[in-house]
Amino acid sequence: MKKENIILAVVIAALSLYLATMNKDKTNYTLPELDEVKTSEITDIILSKNNQTIAIKKKGEVWVLTDKEYPANQSKIDNMLEVIKKIELTALVSEKKDLARYELDTINKISVQAKKADQLLRKVNVGKTASTYNHTFVTLEQDDKVYQAKGDFKSYFDKTITQLRDKSVLSLNPEKIKTILVSKNDITRTFEQELEPALNKEENKENKAISVSKEKKKTWKFKNDQVADTTAMEDLINTLKNLECDQYTKIEQKDTFRNKQVISKITFKGTNELVIFEKKDDKYPAISSDNDYPFLLSAYNGGNILDLIDKILGIKKKENKDAAKTE
């Protein structure tokens, strides 16, 4: 028994030494558990970075930006709300206050506050994305410890006002459009939609029967029943039905823009209207009945719309004289 006791004592001593050695290099900590926030209660989101602040406010059922109440892009705000709702901390990364390493210093961090009126519901500082792209480094309110949070979400908050604005400038329901007025330069035409039955006959040789399908063909006509380029007209409607601008102009009054040279005007049923002005700096200034602010269309989108209008109105492009020269 004495021998067995000696062996047992040696084993216990060895285990104790092992455990003591392991604990020297192991940090024991408990991660904070952040309560879930009800997004339905959030009325304000405040983003701050390097002394620049963006105030986002819920107005009725929509979100607006700054005290000018620019309409915000709803899907981008939804991305923010989803992160604010539940932040899951997965690891303590640093207690050394080396915040710049994780882009959580004063210059680089993005401070995110979510409020219900004056009540603070969530405050978190967002730093850079981890190299795995599965986590984001954060610090909490009045806490310099750097934590790793689940998810890659820095890009959701690292936005400017321009990037957060809703760029939808025209919205159409193609099924309800029956009359379109199109003008460019000195040409103006009003087009009326007509539906004509297209008869497709199919003969059944066995029964010697003929079946007729009556599919309605859509055409666009102007004076004297002349038919427009229907394909170009449908392409124009599809291009404009959910039109987004490239950016907004620094000038915020439509009346100021109305003094500029108009290239083209498109009116749908006398209600929805798009006016395109002469190109400047490779973009087309424009105004719309569906948006309160003047905006810019990219050279590609604006040029595509004008090309379709040329086809509809029968305007031929001017030939390049140099290209037309022959030896």
Question: Is 12 part of a structural domain of the chain?
Answer: no
**CA distances in angstroms from 261 to 202, 212, 310, listed in the order given:** 54, 52, 18
Domain boundary among 142, 164, 186: 164
**Are residues 210 and 302 located together in one domain of the fold?**
yes
Question: Same domain, yes or no, for 301 and 176?
Answer: yes
Determine, yes or no, domain membership for 21: no
CA distance 192 to 180: 7
| Domain assignment of residue 26, yes or no | no
Query: Which of 125, 143, 164 is the last residue in one of the domains?
Result: 164
Residue 305: φ, ψ to 5°: -60, -45
- Please tell me whether residues 145 and 263 are part of one structural domain: no
The DSSP code for 186 is T
Residues 120 and 230 grouped into a single domain: no
Range of the domain at 257: 168-315
In a domain, 60, yes or no: yes
Spatial CA neighbour of 137 closest among 95, 87, 102: 102
| 78 in Cβ contact with 156 (< 8 Å) | no
**192, part of any domain:** yes
Q: Tokens for 279, please give them.
A: 């190109």
The pLDDT value recorded for residue 326 is 39
Residues 156 and 235 grouped into a single domain: no
- For the record, the structure tokens of 13 come out as 């001593």
Q: Which helix (H) or strand (E) holds 85?
A: helix 74-85
103 and 176 part of one domain: no
In this prediction, residue 278 carries a pLDDT of 93
In this predicted structure, what is the pLDDT of residue 323?
40
The 3-state DSSP class for residue 321 equals: helix
Structure tokens at 267: 């009116």
Is the separation of the CB atoms in 56 and 43 below 8 Å? no
Note whether residue 7 is domain-resident: no
Asked if residue 77 lies in contact with residue 88, where contact means CB atoms within 8 angstroms, the answer is no
What's the pLDDT tens digit per position in 250-271? 998 998 887 788 999 999 987 8
pLDDT number for residue 103: 97
Q: Is 107 in the same domain as 136?
A: yes
Are residue 189 and residue 77 in the same domain, yes or no? no
d(CA 285, CA 275): 9
Q: Residue 273: inside a domain, yes or no?
A: yes
Q: What is the predicted pLDDT for the residue at 144?
A: 85
Q: DSSP 3-state assignment of 3?
A: helix
pTM of the full structure: 0.79
Q: Is there a contact between 259 and 189 (Cβ–Cβ < 8 Å)?
A: no
Give the residues of the chain that fall short of pLDDT 70.
Answer: 1-28, 197-216, 318-327
Domain co-membership, 175 together with 303: yes
Residues 6+ apart with CB under 8 A from 271: 289
Q: Give the model's pLDDT for residue 203.
A: 55
Give the pLDDT of residue 284: 96
Q: Judge whether 8 lies within some domain.
A: no
Beta strands in the chain (DSSP E): 44-49, 52-59, 62-65, 70-71, 89-94, 110-116, 119-129, 135-140, 146-150, 168-171, 179-184, 187-204, 209-222, 226-227, 242-244, 247-248, 262-268, 272-277, 283-288, 295-298
Domain count within the chain? 2
Over the stretch 93-137, which tens digit does the pLDDT of each residue have?
999 888 999 999 999 999 999 999 999 999 999 999 999 899 999
The C-alpha R_g of the chain, in whole angstroms, comes to 32
Domain termination residue (choose one: 117, 146, 164): 164
Per the CB < 8 A criterion, the answer to whether 137 and 102 are in contact is: yes
CA 72 remoteness from chain centre: 9
178 and 309 share a domain?
A: yes
**Which residue, chain included where needed, has tokens 């991660």?**
31
Residue 253: CATH number of its domain: 3.30.1490
- Cα(297)–Cα(276) distance, integer angstroms: 9
> What CA–CA distance (Å, rounded) separates 3 from 313?
108
